[in-house]
Structure 1
Amino acid sequence: MTPRQTTINTVTLTCSTCGSAQFTKLDTNEYRCSHCHAVTLVEDNVAQRLEKILRGIQQPAPPARPGPGVLAAIAITVAAAIAVPLVISLLGSNTRSVPRQPPPLPPIDASLVKLTDVQEIETRGRRQLVLIVRNETGKKIDMPRVTASYFQGELSLSSSSGSAPARSLQPGEYAPMTISAPDKAYTRYALQVSPPALSRGKNNDVAANKVQLVRNDGTYRLVGLLKNHGAEAANSSQVTVMLYGDDGRLIGIGNGYGAASPLAPGALTAFDVRCEMLTDGAVASYDYMVQSER
């Protein structure tokens, strides 16, 4: 086919034969209709216009740039997506790193812990104070700390704390305590009770029966049986003994445990507590306390 210049409408730049606007460039000023394949030679100014059209068809239009408002919304969304998980992570981390503490227990008036029957004794060359610690706070407390400060006139000598066999005291309970005294002579002493703490331990229902105070070769022993009346096994069932003379003063103490530990519910076990005499004299009466906690 001989190319003709009249096959392209120079006004609309469409194929005069079929009306298509799709062309393929073959050579300088030479184009072929992509629909009917008519080949046309065009003038320079028509070729320039056709080139612009072809470039617009073959190259996709650049994406529209978002405006400032769109960019700001995107930035806020991205920042929120990063910040919210970070804040949650920090809050979770702080929650895990700071364990919850139980509320503090109210203080107990130390003056409600009474110290009675205080004696100064010397046994086998060892000087000490012996006393009874009574719980009149109305609450179960751990055995409080008792400190004795010794003086010679206005001169302060030394201080020492007491040792008691009982771990805790129920309201109204009492137990013996001994406090070491200095070898150097002193003219007076002062006793101070530290603020007692509420006891968190729970008591087991353990009781003694068939109790006897026996004496062999001048040594006193309290013997008997312990029975667990509770529904759970009992550990470390403890027996504290106090011996008294004719005048009612404390002259001997003892501390021991049941033979079986743990003690199953409903089970029996024996105990045998050897007592230490604090002074000479016959035993007129005795008292004992059973403790078992979990």
Structure 2
Amino acid sequence: MTPKQTTINTVTLTCSTCGSAQFTKLATNEYRCNHCQAMTLVEDDVAQRLEKILRGMQQPASTVPVKPTVITAIVVGVVAAAVISLTAIFNSGSSSPPRRLTPVEPPIDASLVKLTDIREIQTRSRKQLIMMVRNETGRKIDAPRITATFYQDDLTLGSSYDSPSVRSLQPGEYAPVRINVTDKAYTRYTLQVATPSAARGKNNDVAASKVQLVKNDGSYRLIGLVKNQGAATANSTQISVMLYGEDGALIGTGNGYASAGALAPGALTSFDVSCEMLNESRVASYDYMVQSES
């Protein structure tokens, strides 16, 4: 069959019959339109141009390199957009004022816990250091730990520690502490008060009445009643006792609890606290402390 002659527009590479841009090369100078099957015969130089055009259409488009300045601009734009978005989120949120940070209280100065009336005593079992611990910090504190370190000249022999038996100390309050002495011969010792902790417990309103110091068979006991004068239940009411000799020195201590573990508002209970004597001196006066915390 004689091929239908047509021409190819070499500028737009389209068939002059149907306008299709799809061709199949049949021979060096012969091309067929894939749409209308029209055959086109071209000269040698035209065939070479068409071959280049067809090869160019079949190759993938080359990637245009992106300049570094363009990349930088894109990154800066993305970061700026993120910052603006976050700012908008925070600013468009709740209209409540920002939360204020709770100020941190400075540590309590241990030097304001005073140790007085320090002396060495011989109990039935061993030697002890006894002293009064007085709270002059201006704040309510937990009973602090007192450490005694013993030396033989420049040689450290060891340490012992203890705390007052009371739970806490209000400003101006005091309580005794007893620390065991080393069995080794020592020439000196030092005392150190641990950094006090602010007491968090709330004191219940309890009060003692009909308090008496009685002596039976050479032993002293402090007896009396405790009443809860507050509006909340008072638990674990503690009674601490200090006995003094005629010279004002501490010669006996005692620590105990009220008979009832929990006291409802207005309730009354008894207490009976045995005291331990530090020497055989006669008791000239006594003091006591009643504590209940929640």
TM above 0.5, yes or no, is yes
Give the conservation status (yes or no) of the 8 Å contact 1:114–1:135: no
Structure 1 distance, partners of 2:15, 2:149, is 121
Hey, what does 1:113 align to over in structure 2? 114
Q: Give the 3 Å change call, closer, same or farther, for CA 36–102 of structure 1 in structure 2.
A: same
Unaligned runs of 5+ in 1: 85-100
Hey, what does 1:24 align to over in structure 2? 23
Q: In the TM superposition, what is the alpha-carbon distance from 1:161 to its structure 2 partner?
A: 4.8
Q: Give the 3 Å change call, closer, same or farther, for CA 135–48 of structure 1 in structure 2.
A: closer
What letter matches 1:244 in structure 2? Y
Hey, what does 1:215 align to over in structure 2? 215
Structure 2 distance, partners of 1:4, 1:193, is 117
Hey, what does 2:49 align to over in structure 1? 49
Q: Secondary structure at the match of 2:2?
A: coil
Hey, what does 1:276 align to over in structure 2? 276
Hey, what does 2:238 align to over in structure 1? 238
Give the conservation status (yes or no) of the 8 Å contact 1:168–1:199: no
Q: Give the 3 Å change call, closer, same or farther, for CA 203–226 of structure 1 in structure 2.
A: farther
TM-score between the two structures when normalised by the length of structure 1: 0.65
Structure 2 distance, partners of 1:123, 1:264, is 40
Give the conservation status (yes or no) of the 8 Å contact 1:203–1:291: no
Unaligned runs of 5+ in 2: 84-102
Q: In the TM superposition, what is the alpha-carbon distance from 1:172 to its structure 2 partner?
A: 2.0
Structure 1 distance, partners of 2:231, 2:205, is 11
Structure 2 distance, partners of 1:257, 1:54, is 107
Q: Which runs of 4+ in 1 moved over 6 A?
A: 9-14, 154-159, 182-186, 188-191
Give the conservation status (yes or no) of the 8 Å contact 1:143–1:167: no
Give the conservation status (yes or no) of the 8 Å contact 1:4–1:41: no
Identity of aligned residues (%): 51
Q: In the TM superposition, what is the alpha-carbon distance from 1:287 to its structure 2 partner?
A: 1.4
Give the conservation status (yes or no) of the 8 Å contact 1:206–1:237: no
Query: Does structure 1 residue 175 correspond to structure 2 residue 200?
Result: no
Q: In the TM superposition, what is the alpha-carbon distance from 1:289 to its structure 2 partner?
A: 0.6
Hey, what does 2:88 align to over in structure 1? none
Give the conservation status (yes or no) of the 8 Å contact 1:113–1:193: no
Hey, what does 1:90 align to over in structure 2? none
Give the conservation status (yes or no) of the 8 Å contact 1:208–1:226: yes
Give the conservation status (yes or no) of the 8 Å contact 1:237–1:257: yes
Q: Give the 3 Å change call, closer, same or farther, for CA 50–159 of structure 1 in structure 2.
A: closer
Q: In the TM superposition, what is the alpha-carbon distance from 1:143 to its structure 2 partner?
A: 3.4
Q: CA RMSD in A?
A: 4.7
Structure 2 distance, partners of 1:283, 1:140, is 30
Q: Deviations over 1:165-195 (max 9, x none)?
A: 2343222222223344567888x86674536
Q: Give the 3 Å change call, closer, same or farther, for CA 268–191 of structure 1 in structure 2.
A: farther
Q: Secondary structure at the match of 1:109?
A: helix
What letter matches 1:115 in structure 2? T
Structure 1 distance, partners of 2:56, 2:125, is 118
